[in-house]
Structure 1
């Protein structure tokens, strides 16, 4: 109990059977109290997003804080090293396992095998957390292993009501709504909670990926003015060439959609790419993505074809742009068939071939290819499941016409 405030700060119960046992238990109790008070002292000195960790080891907690700070700085290699050290000190430290999965998910290139592995490990230790945090870990496990969209939605709904104040939590919920469920309205609402927390704390969050994902969701719902504001705020925290490029990538898309001049944005974007020595083929491929996302498909195909002509390894990009644009779909299928010859278990190739078959009216083959993609990949694939519903509806319409 706090002698000044009278607040109960820690409770525990121990039992012993003899004098020696009591002495050992007293020693253990003293250690537990010391660790608890040390953790409380550390909590008072760290950002509120990092406070609720649920470990009994102060040293593990320190490594955990280092790990999360590295995640905030997008330094995922250092984050993984710190979280590994935390786990060595406390093998029951659920959140250390969880944020290892988080780091493997967001680092580039994404490490799918470790992403699944550490999510599963965290899930097995979920009962070390309070129920509201157990649901967060369970949501990840559901996203990666169940393929059940309704179950993902259920966990998202539960978590919305959990009153968790961590910005990392609301960021992750926004990501889940946008990338797993493609519900961009709810994604925006989750990201807006971070805005509210920032206002209460009187300082903006410095996690650059938040601005990127928030702005992208705003583009999806057509709120271009707010998206522009978010990306401009993000530019203040874009300390690397990569994230500066991402901000200008999105500035160009918004300008194209709104019919505004984008020359200044394009000039800066290309300068950043040349600064790191990107090839002209890579630049052309990325320009094709910009025009595609803005809905300028003729220009998208032109840039995708230039990239392919300069470097044939950009063939997959050309295939997806052709299929998306409904231009030379057969050429896109031919490219995908060649890719499948060398990589027959790649679900993404099956998905795009399924999309091409659907657009060509070959619904039965499309459905077969979608099922292959879904069965190969262990996690829920929102694009594939949406396409599957469209194909099934097209087949049902054909049956009703006969």
Structure 2
């Protein structure tokens, strides 16, 4: 074939031949580019079913667009033979690389990271390679990896391969399930790549046999030799990665290639660190700033007196403090990181003693204005980035790496030598740059109930060593005074804040309540519980707890006082004051992570969206390990229609927290915002793999409803409701009626179930859920034309909300809509005027719901021009990518603006409620109108298409609408009209 031309491809040379065909290098004469042509075996065209299967798989593969996957340009047929037109890749296969020049560990990791990156993209699209081997992966001269032969991929859910097809691929690289002819999924690719990784590291295959049967036996039954036997440079971690990838049982393997990718990236970073750590350096001694006599009197004498006082104290008490220190040294920047205290007798720190000591020391030392102590949250995020998130013991070298990333001059490391009958602790204060130990201490004789006294002693010794002035009494208060006098209360508190940091809000509630039960005056426990309550939408509890925290705030540090005050303003819907307080907080404490998150939220509430994004960037510039800020930045970027920025932000979050469900959920939300629903579903499923009742389960329920998969929807609803949290459980109960029944058009049944749920939720004092029940009842009464009941429910919802002094709207927008629908337009306008007068600089968030309510009232009056103007005002105030709205779309249609109407309606047909501020419209009654609005969008889209003369499109939408509500137990105007219109259109189509 050399020299011949097929279609517009001139064959230049033969590149290779294998079991799945012959590959040629060719010139594309139309586009003037070099390509590769792969001619497939003849049996693919002789068998119609096999040919169709191949086309199906190849088309799916051709849609992949990733720098580490060979691009398939097109699929063609020549003289009854199929061939693929692919990107031409210069370089060598990994098989050739291994034979010619076995790669270094660094190069193996670089290659592996790229392969995993490519596979992750394919798996996200539901595509499995099924033939991963070193012959199918190319490496270019520039070091870029290219995975080849995705044209032979199998799409998940497609027909099972035939017996002949089941043995595709080289046997030595097959997964055990593939070798046994079983159905395979993406985990088969992970196993095959584990074989490649083993081969790269050892130049040998893990499973071998003299013939096919022997090889199959080895692959299914035998364990490979440890890779360290063949390569002494292999780390324990790398050996673990390969072993996990090669697990016989697919459930014991990495469940997603992203997880393997995260491990490989961490190992790559560790390798870089190990390389730099062995470079010898000569570090000058830390300079002691010259002091005037006056300054010495001011700072030096009090510190010296304090140390003498402490020594006299411990001599006269049954404690033992041994101090070994260099000459007193002043830190150049007075910045310190307190590393996690290793608990030697309890390595897993099950009693949280190490965690308590660490957190208490941070609190105690943070009282000094002249010392910046890095927060535990920030250090945790840095450790997570370095693969040390859950490490209870960190070596000095790794601790130094953490401290350098935190940008501090000093670090304090400690070990708990014993906990019974008395505590025994050693600590070392280390200069980060030189590695010099400035002070070492051993404290013994403190009982478990004297942990606060031990921390006070440690803190005072550290401050004296660093020459930190103790100018005010506030800065020398006992740590028990600024936290709690109960060690058990503090133990419960650290459990709670740890769970809260992992977004496990419902789980955090119990230990925090236990902490408050043990010490009702524990201010920061009240503050943490307020945060938990806000996250689970229990605003009543949030307000009660923040009031208690503020009342007790005189005893906490300045940093904590500002945190409490800012959060209180936010709960009071006063974002301006909240923003001002938070600006002060980040000015005084620039590394305070949560402050940037809350400040971004405040600016969002003020409608200053760009400022909200820039606040995230400010915080990340200070510290790129702030995972909450990456999360926030992802949402805000998505809300501003910046897809690439949003995905980049969430990928950074994933690198920091690969073992937590929230980043996967956020990535699903980002894809949802851009209506890439398959990708959204994939990431939500990744999130619930960590925790079945995570919030993603509710979104998967809604997604399944959109697809008409009611069984899957019910499964996810039940999983979401399988929780001890009564608020979340109540939401799942509400979904049984408000989502499951409504989606099937069974509105009367849903209405009756919600009335029963309302009684139950009120009896349990679940006011937030009762409020939600009433809003949904208002919407259902509207749809069922029971307008007096609609007004009754709206008023009842307003009464619940009116009990909340911090809610400036208290459902009056819902009441105005109900009044208008009942013909009481005058009262509706009076209520709107009342709300308009309350819009101030302090409460700008009132604008959107008031404009929206005005639009609804005008809509019910039939004043569609006025309604459209109000709804346009709303769109200017919300995030550009906020969800569409049915009343807005219908208003546009009524005034003849069909293009805008169609744009909103088309997007609405793929909308479900995710409850996120940048992406969802949260003012009433919009959240409760899902899924009615999504279903009715098909009807109105049919009307719009019909008006545009697009009959086929109109028929399709009417049929979809009638299909979804085929089991409807009520008759609406839209159902009647859709049937009439469809009959007429089909009659015209037949003429």
Q: Which has the higher strand share?
A: 2
Q: CA deviation at 1:307?
A: 2.9
Q: Is the 8 A contact 1:59 1:86 kept in 2?
A: no
Question: Which one of 269, 291, 299 corresponds to residue 4 of structure 1?
Answer: 291
Q: Is the 8 A contact 1:228 1:254 kept in 2?
A: no
Equivalent position of 1:307 in the other structure: 713
Q: Please say if 1:317 is aligned against 2:738.
A: no
Could you report, residue by residue, the CA deviation over 1:155-209 in whole angstroms, capped at 9, with x for unpaired residues?
Answer: 235336536343312312444666xx5x6x44663453132122134x33134xx
Q: Is the 8 A contact 2:512 2:528 kept in 1?
A: no
Q: CA deviation at 1:115?
A: 3.9
Q: CA deviation at 1:233?
A: 2.0
State the distance in 1 between where 2:687 and 2:528 align. 31
Q: Is the 8 A contact 1:94 1:122 kept in 2?
A: yes
Q: CA deviation at 1:253?
A: 0.7
Q: Please say if 1:171 is aligned against 2:597.
A: yes
Could you report, residue by residue, the CA deviation over 1:39-59 in whole angstroms, capped at 9, with x for unpaired residues?
Answer: 5399544249889x9882246
Question: Which one of 780, 805, 816 corresponds to residue 356 of structure 1?
Answer: 780
Q: CA deviation at 1:121?
A: 1.6
304 and 348 in structure 1: CA distance in 2 versus 1, 3 angstrom threshold: farther
Q: Per the alignment, in what secondary structure is the counterpart of residue 584 of structure 2?
A: coil
Residues 1-400 of structure 1: matches in 2 within 5 Å? Answer: 4=291, 6=295, 39-40=367-368, 43-47=371-375, 56-58=477-479, 70=498, 71-74=500-503, 94-95=523-524, 97-103=526-532, 105-106=534-535, 115-127=542-554, 137-138=564-565, 140-141=567-568, 149=573, 152-159=574-581, 162=584, 164=586, 165=590, 166-175=592-601, 185-186=607-608, 189-190=611-612, 192-201=614-623, 203-207=624-628, 210-240=629-659, 242-256=661-675, 260=676, 263=678, 266-267=681-682, 269-270=684-685, 273=688, 285-290=698-703, 300=706, 302-303=708-709, 307-308=713-714, 316-321=734-739, 329-344=747-762, 346-358=770-782, 362=787, 364-375=791-802, 380=807, 384=811, 386-388=813-815, 390-391=817-818, 398-399=825-826
Q: Is the 8 A contact 2:701 2:712 kept in 1?
A: no
Q: CA deviation at 1:236?
A: 1.6
87 and 255 in structure 1: CA distance in 2 versus 1, 3 angstrom threshold: same
State the distance in 2 between where 1:343 and 1:82 align. 24
162 and 330 in structure 1: CA distance in 2 versus 1, 3 angstrom threshold: farther
TM score, norm. by length of structure 1: 0.61
Could you report, residue by residue, the CA deviation over 1:95-114 in whole angstroms, capped at 9, with x for unpaired residues?
Answer: 564234335544xx677776
Q: Is the 8 A contact 1:92 1:125 kept in 2?
A: yes
Q: Per the alignment, in what secondary structure is the counterpart of residue 807 of structure 2?
A: coil
Q: Is the 8 A contact 2:567 2:578 kept in 1?
A: no
112 and 159 in structure 1: CA distance in 2 versus 1, 3 angstrom threshold: closer
Q: Is the 8 A contact 1:175 1:187 kept in 2?
A: no
State the distance in 2 between where 1:389 and 1:220 align. 29
Q: Per the alignment, in what secondary structure is the counterpart of residue 302 of structure 1?
A: coil
Q: Is the 8 A contact 2:667 2:683 kept in 1?
A: yes
Q: Per the alignment, in what secondary structure is the counterpart of residue 158 of structure 1?
A: helix
Q: Per the alignment, in what secondary structure is the counterpart of residue 650 of structure 2?
A: helix
Higher RCO (CA 8 Å, separation ≥ 6 residues): 1
Q: Per the alignment, in what secondary structure is the counterpart of residue 795 of structure 2?
A: helix
Could you report, residue by residue, the CA deviation over 1:192-238 in whole angstroms, capped at 9, with x for unpaired residues?
Answer: 3132122134x33134xx44444334444444443323222222223
State the distance in 1 between where 2:290 and 2:512 align. 36
State the distance in 2 between where 1:325 and 1:352 align. 14
Q: Per the alignment, in what secondary structure is the counterpart of residue 239 of structure 1?
A: coil
State the distance in 1 between where 2:820 and 2:712 align. 37
State the distance in 1 between where 2:670 and 2:645 align. 12
206 and 48 in structure 1: CA distance in 2 versus 1, 3 angstrom threshold: same
72 and 376 in structure 1: CA distance in 2 versus 1, 3 angstrom threshold: same
Q: Is the 8 A contact 1:132 1:159 kept in 2?
A: no
Q: CA deviation at 1:270?
A: 3.3
397 and 306 in structure 1: CA distance in 2 versus 1, 3 angstrom threshold: farther
Equivalent position of 1:21 in the other structure: none
Q: Is the 8 A contact 2:599 2:615 kept in 1?
A: no
Q: Is the 8 A contact 2:794 2:815 kept in 1?
A: yes
Equivalent position of 1:15 in the other structure: none
